[in-house]
Amino acid sequence: MYIQEISIEIKKKVDKELIVDEFEALMAYYRSNGQIQGKIQSQYFSDNKITCLPFTIEIDALSNKYNNYYVNIQSEKVESLCNSKLCFKNVGKYYESYNGGCKCKKRDFFILMTNYISINSPIICGNCNKSVPLYKIPVIYDYGYMPILSWETNYISCDCLQMNCEVGERWGLNQMQDINSQLTKQGIVICDKIKEVTSIPTYYYLHNYKKYKRDQFKRTCPSCNNKWDLKKQLHNFYDFKCDKCRLISTISTNS
């Protein structure tokens, strides 16, 4: 991840609390357009300046060319309230070797996947296994991607329940691994929508922590019951893939 700095100087006599709220709203619009990652940004007020340090997948994620209607409208609002211009600066990256998300010219398929600690885009390129920023695909709803982010938040909530073990562990886990759960159904609708707007088949990652011995695992797709084990593990992670139902999964580690 890249760490960016977005700041604005207040050059007008104005209610500073209001500016903080409007600046925060701008960050929310950037997020819902897939330009910044994660929900909590370091935002602070110092002297007459508000600064935020969001994560982005690509170095140029905050470029105007990716802005949507709401980002543009809110940017203008903040700039006019402050009587100055927003400033953008790349301040670093999380790992020295990090060089952004998927750069494939041609993508054969996507995988919809996230987990409780991920702040990456939940759209993974099936060819290189890297994240694809949301703004790189056509908008799916009201200039943005809220349905994808809603599924993502629900998935992360379920994953947190099962990781924390004390409250709703079994329920959260079942939401993630049952083909008929509300969470899976919501995710499959999103996959269909992504395929519709990109023409790229989009697979739903079905978590698998069922208690089977490794060699006893019933190797058929939970939706169509056809064989779905891959001859060779994909990206050192995926063991099952059904091209008919567009589902992808792994061998359970719970043996």
Using CA of residue 23, residue 24, residue 27, residue 32, what is the dihedral sign?
negative
Nearest-approach distance from CB 178 to Zn ion, in angstroms: 15
Q: Which residues of 147-174 are buried (b: 16+ CB within 10 A; e: fewer)?
A: bbbebbebbbebbebbeeeeebeeebbb
Does residue 104 touch Zn ion according to CB under 5 A?
Answer: yes
The whole-angstrom separation of Cα 149 and Cα 33 is 10
CA angle 238, 198, 135 (to 5 degrees): 90
Nearest-approach distance from CB 86 to Zn ion, in angstroms: 31
Nearest-approach distance from CB 220 to Zn ion, in angstroms: 8
Does residue 242 touch Zn ion according to CB under 5 A?
Answer: yes
Does residue 125 touch Zn ion according to CB under 5 A?
Answer: yes
Count of CB atoms situated within 10 Å of the CB of 7: 18
Nearest-approach distance from CB 150 to Zn ion, in angstroms: 25
The whole-angstrom separation of Cα 95 and Cα 67 is 26
Can you spell out the DSSP letters for 99-157? Answer: --S---SS-S-EEE---TT--S-SEEETTT--B--GGGS---BTTB-HHHHHHHHHHHH
Does residue 221 touch Zn ion according to CB under 5 A?
Answer: yes
The whole-angstrom separation of Cα 236 and Cα 60 is 30
- Binding residue for Zn ion, selected from 10, 124, 245, 248, defined by CB under 5 A: 245
- Binding residue for Zn ion, selected from 223, 238, 246, 249, defined by CB under 5 A: 223
Give me the 56-95 binding string for Zn ion, x by CB under 5 A, dash otherwise: ----------------------------------------
- Count of residues near Zn ion by CB under 5 A: 11
Does residue 27 touch Zn ion according to CB under 5 A?
Answer: no
- In this structure, are strands 37-46 and 110-112 parallel, antiparallel, or unpaired? unpaired
Give Cβ neighbours of residue 29 (< 8 Å, ≥ 6 apart).
68, 70, 71, 74
Which residue lies nearer to Zn ion by CB, 139 or 200?
200
Of the candidate spans 13-21, 22-30, 55-63, 235-243, the one that interacts with Zn ion by CB under 5 A turns out to be 235-243
Of the candidate spans 21-29, 41-49, 89-97, 217-225, the one that interacts with Zn ion by CB under 5 A turns out to be 217-225
Does residue 128 touch Zn ion according to CB under 5 A?
Answer: yes
Which residue lies nearer to Zn ion by CB, 25 or 128?
128
Helix 146-164 vs helix 169-177: angle between axes, to the nearest 10 degrees?
Answer: 130
Q: Which two tokens stand for residue 166?
A: 């004390």
Does residue 6 touch Zn ion according to CB under 5 A?
Answer: no
Of the candidate spans 38-46, 47-55, 216-224, 231-239, the one that interacts with Zn ion by CB under 5 A turns out to be 216-224
Residues forming contacts to Zn ion in the complex (CB under 5 A) are 102, 104, 125, 127-128, 221, 223-224, 242, 244-245
